[in-house]
Amino acid sequence: MNILETANSLVGGERGEDYGHPLDDFTRTGKMWAAILGLSEVTPEQVGLCMSALKISRECNAHKMDNLVDGAGYLRTVEMVKKEKYRRHVVTTGRRRGDWKYPATEPAITGAITGATTGPAAPRGPVVLPG
Tens of pLDDT, residue by residue over 39-93, are 999 999 999 999 999 999 999 999 999 999 999 999 999 999 999 999 888 888 8
Quick check: 42 and 109 in contact, CB under 8 A?
yes
Q: What is the mean pLDDT of the chain?
A: 80
Angle value at C-alpha 26, between 120 and 32, nearest 5 degrees: 85
Predicted model pTM: 0.70
Tens of pLDDT, residue by residue over 29-46, are 999 999 999 999 999 999
Please check whether residue 98 lies inside any domain of the structure. Answer: yes
Please check whether residue 25 lies inside any domain of the structure. Answer: yes
| Domains in the chain, number | 1
Q: What is the per-residue pLDDT for 89? A: 86
Please check whether residue 127 lies inside any domain of the structure. Answer: no
Please check whether residue 130 lies inside any domain of the structure. Answer: no
Please check whether residue 125 lies inside any domain of the structure. Answer: no
Quick check: 59 and 68 in contact, CB under 8 A?
yes
Instruction: Compute and round to an integer the Cα radius of gyration of the chain.
Output: 16
Please check whether residue 53 lies inside any domain of the structure. Answer: yes
Its domain, for residue 15, covers 3-114
Please check whether residue 75 lies inside any domain of the structure. Answer: yes
User: Could you give the CA distance from residue 17 to residue 9 in angstroms, rounded to a whole number?
Assistant: 12
Please check whether residue 10 lies inside any domain of the structure. Answer: yes
